[in-house]
Structure 1
Amino acid sequence: MSLDVAVLPEAPWPDQDWEGLATRAATAAIERTPQGGWINSPTLIEIAVRLTSDDEVRTLNRQYRGKDKPTNVLSFPMVQPDLLDTVTQGTDDGEVILGDIVLAHGVCAAEAAEKGISVEHHATHLIVHGVLHLLGHDHGDDAAAEAMEEVERSALASLGIADPYPIDED
Protein backbone atom coordinates (compact mmCIF):
# COMPACT_ATOMS: atom_id res chain seq x y z
CA MET A 1 0.00 0.00 0.00
CA SER A 2 1.10 3.40 -0.72
CA LEU A 3 -0.38 5.76 1.84
CA ASP A 4 -0.22 9.50 1.40
CA VAL A 5 -1.25 11.43 4.49
CA ALA A 6 -1.15 15.16 3.87
CA VAL A 7 -1.23 17.25 7.03
CA LEU A 8 -2.00 20.94 7.21
CA PRO A 9 -1.11 22.26 10.68
CA GLU A 10 -2.31 25.75 11.54
CA ALA A 11 -1.81 27.93 14.60
CA PRO A 12 -2.07 27.22 17.48
CA TRP A 13 -0.65 23.74 16.67
CA PRO A 14 3.12 23.74 17.34
CA ASP A 15 5.67 22.96 14.62
CA GLN A 16 6.68 19.31 14.55
CA ASP A 17 6.49 16.23 12.33
CA TRP A 18 2.70 15.93 12.24
CA GLU A 19 2.85 14.21 8.86
CA GLY A 20 5.00 11.39 10.25
CA LEU A 21 2.75 11.06 13.31
CA ALA A 22 -0.41 11.00 11.17
CA THR A 23 1.05 8.50 8.70
CA ARG A 24 2.04 6.12 11.51
CA ALA A 25 -1.41 6.47 13.10
CA ALA A 26 -3.26 5.90 9.82
CA THR A 27 -1.12 2.89 8.93
CA ALA A 28 -1.64 1.31 12.36
CA ALA A 29 -5.41 1.82 12.07
CA ILE A 30 -5.70 0.42 8.53
CA GLU A 31 -3.56 -2.63 9.35
CA ARG A 32 -6.04 -3.69 12.03
CA THR A 33 -9.18 -3.57 9.91
CA PRO A 34 -10.64 -5.70 7.12
CA GLN A 35 -8.98 -3.18 4.77
CA GLY A 36 -5.56 -4.29 6.02
CA GLY A 37 -5.13 -6.05 2.67
CA TRP A 38 -4.69 -2.63 1.12
CA ILE A 39 -1.13 -2.77 2.42
CA ASN A 40 -0.26 -5.13 -0.46
CA SER A 41 -2.21 -3.13 -3.04
CA PRO A 42 -0.51 -0.83 -5.55
CA THR A 43 -3.34 1.68 -5.08
CA LEU A 44 -2.38 5.01 -3.53
CA ILE A 45 -4.64 5.72 -0.54
CA GLU A 46 -4.89 9.43 0.30
CA ILE A 47 -5.98 10.99 3.58
CA ALA A 48 -5.95 14.68 4.45
CA VAL A 49 -5.55 15.80 8.07
CA ARG A 50 -6.17 19.39 9.08
CA LEU A 51 -4.95 20.54 12.48
CA THR A 52 -6.84 23.71 13.22
CA SER A 53 -8.56 25.86 15.84
CA ASP A 54 -11.61 25.14 17.95
CA ASP A 55 -13.45 27.93 16.11
CA GLU A 56 -13.03 26.27 12.73
CA VAL A 57 -14.06 22.87 14.07
CA ARG A 58 -17.08 24.46 15.76
CA THR A 59 -18.12 25.94 12.40
CA LEU A 60 -17.68 22.58 10.64
CA ASN A 61 -19.50 20.72 13.42
CA ARG A 62 -22.42 23.14 13.20
CA GLN A 63 -22.51 23.03 9.40
CA TYR A 64 -22.23 19.26 8.94
CA ARG A 65 -23.57 17.78 12.17
CA GLY A 66 -25.92 20.48 13.49
CA LYS A 67 -23.94 20.74 16.75
CA ASP A 68 -22.87 24.28 17.66
CA LYS A 69 -19.75 23.42 19.63
CA PRO A 70 -16.19 22.36 18.91
CA THR A 71 -15.37 18.66 19.13
CA ASN A 72 -12.02 16.89 19.24
CA VAL A 73 -12.12 15.24 15.79
CA LEU A 74 -14.33 15.28 12.71
CA SER A 75 -14.10 12.78 9.84
CA PHE A 76 -15.36 13.32 6.32
CA PRO A 77 -15.33 10.02 4.40
CA MET A 78 -15.10 10.17 0.62
CA VAL A 79 -15.91 6.47 0.07
CA GLN A 80 -19.24 4.88 0.95
CA PRO A 81 -18.77 2.07 3.52
CA ASP A 82 -20.41 -0.52 1.24
CA LEU A 83 -17.80 0.23 -1.46
CA LEU A 84 -14.72 -0.15 0.75
CA ASP A 85 -14.19 -3.80 -0.18
CA THR A 86 -13.75 -2.90 -3.84
CA VAL A 87 -12.14 0.53 -3.53
CA THR A 88 -8.67 -0.61 -4.60
CA GLN A 89 -10.00 -2.38 -7.69
CA GLY A 90 -10.71 -0.55 -10.90
CA THR A 91 -9.69 2.96 -9.91
CA ASP A 92 -9.16 5.16 -12.94
CA ASP A 93 -5.79 6.49 -11.82
CA GLY A 94 -4.71 4.02 -9.12
CA GLU A 95 -5.57 6.50 -6.37
CA VAL A 96 -8.33 6.55 -3.78
CA ILE A 97 -9.12 9.61 -1.67
CA LEU A 98 -10.30 8.04 1.57
CA GLY A 99 -11.33 11.33 3.19
CA ASP A 100 -10.49 14.19 5.52
CA ILE A 101 -9.89 14.35 9.26
CA VAL A 102 -9.98 17.62 11.23
CA LEU A 103 -8.67 18.06 14.79
CA ALA A 104 -9.39 21.00 17.11
CA HIS A 105 -6.30 22.14 19.02
CA GLY A 106 -7.94 23.53 22.15
CA VAL A 107 -10.21 20.52 22.66
CA CYS A 108 -7.36 18.10 21.96
CA ALA A 109 -4.96 19.91 24.32
CA ALA A 110 -7.57 20.13 27.11
CA GLU A 111 -8.46 16.43 26.80
CA ALA A 112 -4.76 15.48 26.80
CA ALA A 113 -4.17 17.53 29.96
CA GLU A 114 -7.22 15.97 31.62
CA LYS A 115 -5.91 12.48 30.78
CA GLY A 116 -2.36 13.36 31.81
CA ILE A 117 -0.91 12.49 28.37
CA SER A 118 0.91 14.44 25.69
CA VAL A 119 -0.95 16.30 22.97
CA GLU A 120 0.98 14.17 20.45
CA HIS A 121 -0.30 10.91 21.94
CA HIS A 122 -3.86 12.21 22.11
CA ALA A 123 -3.67 13.53 18.53
CA THR A 124 -2.40 10.10 17.44
CA HIS A 125 -5.43 8.50 19.11
CA LEU A 126 -7.79 10.97 17.46
CA ILE A 127 -6.25 10.33 14.04
CA VAL A 128 -6.60 6.55 14.53
CA HIS A 129 -10.21 7.16 15.55
CA GLY A 130 -10.79 9.41 12.53
CA VAL A 131 -9.28 6.88 10.11
CA LEU A 132 -11.59 4.20 11.50
CA HIS A 133 -14.54 6.48 10.77
CA LEU A 134 -13.23 6.96 7.22
CA LEU A 135 -13.25 3.15 6.96
CA GLY A 136 -16.90 2.98 8.00
CA HIS A 137 -16.52 2.18 11.70
CA ASP A 138 -19.01 3.76 14.06
CA HIS A 139 -19.74 3.89 17.77
CA GLY A 140 -23.50 4.35 17.59
CA ASP A 141 -24.28 1.45 19.91
CA ASP A 142 -22.38 -0.33 22.69
CA ALA A 143 -21.25 -3.29 20.56
CA ALA A 144 -19.97 -1.05 17.75
CA ALA A 145 -18.26 1.26 20.25
CA GLU A 146 -16.52 -1.68 21.95
CA ALA A 147 -15.36 -3.09 18.60
CA MET A 148 -14.03 0.29 17.51
CA GLU A 149 -12.28 0.86 20.85
CA GLU A 150 -10.60 -2.54 20.58
CA VAL A 151 -9.13 -1.64 17.17
CA GLU A 152 -7.98 1.71 18.60
CA ARG A 153 -6.33 -0.01 21.57
CA SER A 154 -4.48 -2.41 19.28
CA ALA A 155 -3.34 0.32 16.88
CA LEU A 156 -2.13 2.56 19.68
CA ALA A 157 -0.37 -0.30 21.48
CA SER A 158 1.56 -1.00 18.27
CA LEU A 159 2.76 2.61 18.44
CA GLY A 160 3.74 2.36 22.12
CA ILE A 161 0.80 4.43 23.33
CA ALA A 162 -1.17 3.45 26.44
CA ASP A 163 -4.79 2.30 26.36
CA PRO A 164 -6.96 5.42 25.96
CA TYR A 165 -9.93 3.58 27.51
CA PRO A 166 -8.65 2.32 30.86
CA ILE A 167 -11.13 0.40 32.96
CA ASP A 168 -11.98 2.13 36.22
CA GLU A 169 -11.59 -0.28 39.12
CA ASP A 170 -13.68 1.32 41.83
Structure 2
Amino acid sequence: MTLDITIEDSRWQEAGLAPLAEQAAAAVLARFALDPEDCEISLLACGDARIAQLNADFREKAGPTNVLSWPAAELAAAEDGGDPLPPEADFTGEIPLGDIAISYDTCAREAAEAGKPLADHTRHLIVHGILHLFGYDHIRDRDAALMERLEAELLGKMGVANPYMSEDAP
Protein backbone atom coordinates (compact mmCIF):
# COMPACT_ATOMS: atom_id res chain seq x y z
CA MET A 1 0.00 0.00 0.00
CA THR A 2 1.16 3.45 -0.72
CA LEU A 3 0.39 5.42 2.43
CA ASP A 4 2.10 8.73 1.90
CA ILE A 5 2.33 10.44 5.30
CA THR A 6 3.34 14.08 5.58
CA ILE A 7 3.98 15.10 9.17
CA GLU A 8 3.70 18.87 9.63
CA ASP A 9 3.25 18.69 13.41
CA SER A 10 6.07 16.83 15.18
CA ARG A 11 3.74 15.74 17.99
CA TRP A 12 2.35 13.17 15.54
CA GLN A 13 5.83 11.69 15.19
CA GLU A 14 6.05 11.40 18.97
CA ALA A 15 2.58 9.83 19.08
CA GLY A 16 3.67 7.07 16.68
CA LEU A 17 1.26 8.04 13.91
CA ALA A 18 2.81 5.97 11.11
CA PRO A 19 2.16 2.49 12.56
CA LEU A 20 -1.31 3.54 13.76
CA ALA A 21 -2.18 4.83 10.27
CA GLU A 22 -0.79 1.72 8.61
CA GLN A 23 -2.80 -0.54 10.92
CA ALA A 24 -6.01 1.41 10.34
CA ALA A 25 -5.55 1.52 6.57
CA ALA A 26 -4.72 -2.19 6.40
CA ALA A 27 -7.88 -3.03 8.37
CA VAL A 28 -10.12 -1.01 6.05
CA LEU A 29 -8.53 -2.40 2.89
CA ALA A 30 -8.80 -5.97 4.19
CA ARG A 31 -12.49 -5.43 5.04
CA PHE A 32 -13.13 -4.49 1.40
CA ALA A 33 -10.85 -7.23 0.02
CA LEU A 34 -8.53 -4.75 -1.68
CA ASP A 35 -4.89 -5.55 -2.29
CA PRO A 36 -2.94 -2.99 -0.26
CA GLU A 37 -0.22 -2.95 -2.93
CA ASP A 38 -2.76 -1.46 -5.36
CA CYS A 39 -4.07 1.35 -3.14
CA GLU A 40 -2.87 4.91 -2.59
CA ILE A 41 -3.76 7.18 0.34
CA SER A 42 -2.15 10.48 1.34
CA LEU A 43 -2.28 11.53 4.99
CA LEU A 44 -1.43 15.01 6.26
CA ALA A 45 -0.67 15.03 10.00
CA CYS A 46 -1.05 18.60 11.15
CA GLY A 47 -2.30 20.80 13.97
CA ASP A 48 -5.42 22.88 14.48
CA ALA A 49 -4.17 25.97 12.65
CA ARG A 50 -3.56 24.06 9.42
CA ILE A 51 -6.74 21.98 9.55
CA ALA A 52 -8.79 25.11 10.35
CA GLN A 53 -7.44 26.67 7.15
CA LEU A 54 -8.27 23.53 5.16
CA ASN A 55 -11.74 23.42 6.73
CA ALA A 56 -12.33 27.04 5.70
CA ASP A 57 -10.92 26.58 2.21
CA PHE A 58 -12.70 23.35 1.31
CA ARG A 59 -15.82 23.24 3.49
CA GLU A 60 -16.35 26.94 4.15
CA LYS A 61 -16.50 26.17 7.87
CA ALA A 62 -14.67 28.24 10.46
CA GLY A 63 -12.42 26.57 12.98
CA PRO A 64 -10.57 23.30 13.33
CA THR A 65 -11.98 19.80 13.04
CA ASN A 66 -10.52 16.39 13.82
CA VAL A 67 -10.23 14.84 10.36
CA LEU A 68 -10.93 15.87 6.77
CA SER A 69 -11.11 13.67 3.67
CA TRP A 70 -10.91 14.31 -0.05
CA PRO A 71 -11.96 11.21 -2.00
CA ALA A 72 -10.32 10.60 -5.37
CA ALA A 73 -13.71 9.57 -6.79
CA GLU A 74 -17.35 10.15 -5.91
CA LEU A 75 -18.53 6.75 -4.66
CA ALA A 76 -21.42 7.69 -2.34
CA ALA A 77 -24.58 5.60 -2.42
CA ALA A 78 -27.62 7.20 -4.00
CA GLU A 79 -29.96 5.79 -1.35
CA ASP A 80 -29.69 6.52 2.37
CA GLY A 81 -28.07 3.48 3.98
CA GLY A 82 -26.92 1.95 0.70
CA ASP A 83 -23.43 0.73 -0.03
CA PRO A 84 -21.18 3.08 -1.97
CA LEU A 85 -19.70 2.04 -5.30
CA PRO A 86 -16.42 0.15 -5.04
CA PRO A 87 -13.26 2.11 -5.85
CA GLU A 88 -11.72 1.39 -9.23
CA ALA A 89 -8.17 1.23 -10.50
CA ASP A 90 -6.87 4.00 -12.72
CA PHE A 91 -5.02 3.46 -16.00
CA THR A 92 -1.85 2.42 -14.11
CA GLY A 93 -3.68 -0.35 -12.25
CA GLU A 94 -3.48 1.51 -8.94
CA ILE A 95 -6.48 2.55 -6.89
CA PRO A 96 -6.12 6.17 -5.80
CA LEU A 97 -8.38 6.54 -2.77
CA GLY A 98 -7.69 10.16 -1.85
CA ASP A 99 -6.30 12.42 0.82
CA ILE A 100 -6.88 12.78 4.55
CA ALA A 101 -5.80 15.45 7.04
CA ILE A 102 -5.84 14.86 10.80
CA SER A 103 -5.26 17.44 13.54
CA TYR A 104 -3.19 16.55 16.57
CA ASP A 105 -4.71 19.25 18.77
CA THR A 106 -8.33 18.23 18.18
CA CYS A 107 -7.60 14.50 18.26
CA ALA A 108 -5.68 14.77 21.54
CA ARG A 109 -8.31 17.01 23.11
CA GLU A 110 -11.17 14.68 22.12
CA ALA A 111 -9.29 11.62 23.39
CA ALA A 112 -8.60 13.31 26.73
CA GLU A 113 -12.20 14.50 27.10
CA ALA A 114 -13.49 10.98 26.40
CA GLY A 115 -10.88 9.32 28.63
CA LYS A 116 -9.57 7.28 25.68
CA PRO A 117 -6.00 6.51 24.71
CA LEU A 118 -4.72 8.85 22.01
CA ALA A 119 -3.67 5.85 19.90
CA ASP A 120 -7.22 4.43 19.91
CA HIS A 121 -8.81 7.74 18.96
CA THR A 122 -6.21 8.26 16.25
CA ARG A 123 -6.99 4.85 14.72
CA HIS A 124 -10.69 5.69 14.91
CA LEU A 125 -10.26 9.00 13.09
CA ILE A 126 -8.10 7.44 10.40
CA VAL A 127 -10.62 4.63 9.85
CA HIS A 128 -13.34 7.30 9.72
CA GLY A 129 -11.38 9.33 7.19
CA ILE A 130 -10.66 6.33 4.98
CA LEU A 131 -14.31 5.28 5.02
CA HIS A 132 -15.10 8.77 3.68
CA LEU A 133 -12.64 8.03 0.84
CA PHE A 134 -14.71 4.90 0.14
CA GLY A 135 -17.90 6.98 -0.18
CA TYR A 136 -19.34 6.47 3.30
CA ASP A 137 -20.80 9.48 5.07
CA HIS A 138 -22.86 10.44 8.10
CA ILE A 139 -25.10 13.21 6.79
CA ARG A 140 -28.19 11.05 6.30
CA ASP A 141 -29.38 8.89 9.22
CA ARG A 142 -29.06 5.42 7.69
CA ASP A 143 -25.71 6.34 6.10
CA ALA A 144 -24.49 7.42 9.55
CA ALA A 145 -25.68 4.17 11.14
CA LEU A 146 -23.94 2.12 8.43
CA MET A 147 -20.71 4.08 8.79
CA GLU A 148 -20.75 3.75 12.59
CA ARG A 149 -21.30 -0.03 12.35
CA LEU A 150 -18.35 -0.34 9.96
CA GLU A 151 -16.14 1.78 12.20
CA ALA A 152 -17.04 -0.30 15.27
CA GLU A 153 -16.38 -3.54 13.35
CA LEU A 154 -12.99 -2.38 12.05
CA LEU A 155 -11.88 -0.91 15.36
CA GLY A 156 -12.94 -4.08 17.16
CA LYS A 157 -10.62 -6.10 14.93
CA MET A 158 -7.79 -3.81 16.09
CA GLY A 159 -8.73 -4.23 19.76
CA VAL A 160 -10.22 -0.73 20.03
CA ALA A 161 -13.49 -0.30 21.94
CA ASN A 162 -16.59 0.77 20.05
CA PRO A 163 -16.45 4.59 20.18
CA TYR A 164 -20.24 4.82 19.86
CA MET A 165 -21.05 2.72 22.95
CA SER A 166 -21.02 4.48 26.28
CA GLU A 167 -19.59 2.64 29.24
CA ASP A 168 -22.91 3.17 30.98
CA ALA A 169 -24.87 1.30 28.31
CA PRO A 170 -26.40 -2.03 29.33
Structure 2 length as normaliser, TM-score?
A: 0.85
Tell me how far apart the structure 2 counterparts of residues 161 and 60 of structure 1 sit (CA, whole Å).
29
The whole-number CA distance in structure 2 between the counterparts of 1:132 and 1:27 is 12
Aligned to 2:98: 99
- The answer to whether the aligner puts 1:66 opposite 2:60 as a matched pair is yes
Q: CA RMSD in A?
A: 2.1
- 1:55 is matched by which residue type in structure 2? A
Q: Which runs of 5+ in 1 are unaligned?
A: none
Please give the alpha-carbon distance, in whole angstroms, between the structure 1 residues aligned to 2:45 and 2:2.
16
Structure 2: distance between partners of 1:137 and 1:146: 10
- 8 Å Cα contact 2:137/2:144 also seen in 1: yes
Residue in 1 that maps onto 2:139: 140
TM-score, structure 1 as length reference: 0.85
Unaligned 5+ runs, structure 2: 77-83
Asked if the contact 1:49/1:101 (under 8 Å) is kept, the reply is yes
Q: How many residues align?
A: 161
Residues in 1 aligned to 2:69 and 2:28: alpha-carbon distance in whole angstroms: 14
Whether 2:51 is the aligned partner of 1:57: answer yes
- Distance in 1 (CA, whole Å) between partners of 2:30 and 2:150 is 10
| Change in CA separation of 1:105 and 1:162 when aligned onto 2, cut-off 3 Å | same
Residue identity over aligned pairs, in percent, reads 37
Listed as ranges, the matches of 1:122-141 within 5 Å are 122-141=121-140
Q: SS in structure 2 opposite 1:64?
A: helix
What's the CA shift for 1:16? 5.0
Partner of 1:87: 88
